[in-house]
Amino acid sequence: MRSENFIRNRTALITLIAASLVVLISLGVRQTFGMFFMDFKDDLDISLTQSGLSVGLQMLMWGLTGPIFGTIADKYGGHKAIALAFVFFIAGVYFLYAGPNTGIFFQIDLGILVGIGLGGTAISIPMSVVGKHFPLSNRTIAMSIVTAVGSFGYFLSPILTEYSLTENGWENTLVAFLIALSIGLAISFFVRSPSLEQTIEQPNSQTTTEAIKEAFETKSYILLVSGFFVCGFHITLVGTHVPTYVIDRGLESWTAAAILSLIGLFNIFGSLCSGYLSTKMSKKIILSAIYSLRGLSIIFFIFLPASNINSFIFGATFGFLWLSTVPATSGIVAHMFGTKYLGVLYGIVFLSHQIGSFFGAYLGGLFHDLYGSYDYAWYLAIALSVFAAIIHLPIKEQPVIRLENRIN
C-alpha cells in the first residue's frame, strides 16, 4: 500500500495554517465572555440570567447559521463564508463596546451578532474546508491540528483577558478583541477550498437537498446528531459558568482564569490524541469513552472540597476531553457521506451541539438565580454524559450505500 503525503499541495498547507489561526482567534475571543459577567452586572445592570441567555442565544445562532455558512463554503469557497462571518462578529463586539448595549440590545450584540459570527469562523466551517484537502487516511489528523491550534486560543485568551480586565477595564479589553478579529478577517481570505484540479472528492451529482435527505435517512447520522447535543451542553456550561461557580465556592477570579487556560492547554493534547486515535481505532468507541470520562471529571470537581488544586485538576482533565470529540465526530460524517457537502452536513451536526450549548448557558444561569447554586445544572450534565456514552455505541462507521456501490 502506497503511503500518501500528508500535505498534498501548497493550497492545502496554506489553508491548514490559515484555518488554524482563524479558529484560534475566534475561539479565543468566544471563550472569555463569561469573565465579563460581573462587569456587565455592575456597569450595564445585566443579571446572570440575562448574561446566560445572551450566551445561549449566541450558541443557538452559531448553530443555526453554521449550515448556512457551510452551504456558502461548499458552493462559493470557504474564504467567502468565513470573511462574511467575521463581519458579523466584529459588529457584535463593536456594539457591545460602543452601544447600544443594554436591555434587548445586549442580547442582539452578544447573542445574535456574535453568534452569527461564530457560525462561520469557529470550528465547523474552517475545519470542513480543511477536510476537503485531505483523504480519509489522514483527514482526522488534519482536523485535529485545526482544533489543537484553536485550543491555544482557549489557553492564551483567559490569561490575557484577566490581565486586561484588571488593568484596563472591560471596554478596552473589547477594543483588543476588535483588533484580533480584524486580523482574523484578513487571514480568512487564505482559507481556500480545493479547486477542481486539487479536489479529492469522488464525482457526486447530488444537490444539497438530496445530501441532507440522505443524511437524515441514515440512522447513524441521527445518533451522531443527538450525541453532539451533549457536547455542546457540557462545554458551554463549563466555559460560561465556571468563573462564577468557583467564586461561589470561595475561590478567587484568577482560579477561574487558570481553569479556562488549563482547559485550552490540555485540549491541545486531547485534540491531537483524538485525531491520531481516530485513524487507528473505532471513532464511536473514542466518543463513548470521552463522554464517560467527562461525567467522571464533573463528579470529582463538584463533590471534592473546593480548592485550587482540585480546580486545576478539573481544568486539565476536562480540557483534555474538551474538543476531542470534534475530530472523531467530523471524521465519521466525512467517512459516511464524503466531503462534497461536509460543510453543510457537519454544520447540521454542529447545530445540535449549539442547541445543547443554549441549554447549558441558559439553564446554568437560571438554576443559579432560582436556587442559589449550579448544583442542578451539574447533575443534569452528569446524566447527559451517561446518555451520550450509550447513544454512540450503535453507530455504524461505514459509507452510505451510494458510496459503497461506487467503491465496489
- pLDDT tens, position by position, for the chain (408 residues)? 344 566 777 888 899 999 999 999 998 898 788 788 888 888 888 887 888 788 878 888 988 898 889 889 888 888 999 999 999 999 999 999 988 988 899 999 999 999 999 999 988 789 888 888 887 777 778 888 888 888 788 778 888 888 999 899 999 999 999 999 999 999 999 998 886 555 655 656 678 888 889 899 999 999 999 999 999 999 889 988 888 899 888 888 788 888 888 888 898 899 889 888 988 889 999 999 999 999 999 999 999 998 999 999 999 999 999 888 988 898 898 888 887 787 788 888 988 988 898 898 888 888 988 888 899 999 999 999 999 999 999 999 888 776 555 544
Instruction: Tell me what pLDDT residue 53 has.
Output: 84
CB contact at 8 A, 334 and 131:
yes
- The dihedral built from the CA positions of residue 361, 222, 146 and 194, taken in this order, carries a sign that is negative
CB contact at 8 A, 402 and 215:
no
Q: Which DSSP state fits 34? A: G
- Domain regions of the chain by residue span: 11-407
d(CA 68, CA 54): 21
Instruction: Tell me what pLDDT residue 167 has.
Output: 92
Contacts (Cβ under 8 Å, ≥6 apart) of 285: 393
Instruction: Tell me what pLDDT residue 357 has.
Output: 82
Instruction: Tell me what pLDDT residue 201 has.
Output: 58
Instruction: Tell me what pLDDT residue 114 has.
Output: 95
What number does CATH give the domain 11-407?
1.20.1250.20
Contacts (Cβ under 8 Å, ≥6 apart) of 25: 121, 153, 180, 181, 183, 184, 187
Helix (H) / strand (E) element for 51: namely helix 48-76
Instruction: Tell me what pLDDT residue 4 has.
Output: 57
d(CA 90, CA 113): 8
- Would you state the cell numbers that stand for residue 72, as one nine-digit string? 456558502
The residue among 68, 49, 179 whose CA lies nearest residue 118 is 68
How many Å separate Cα 325 from the centre of its chain?
10
Instruction: Tell me what pLDDT residue 153 has.
Output: 80
- Give, in degrees to the nearest 5, the angle at Cα 147 between 144 and 153: 150
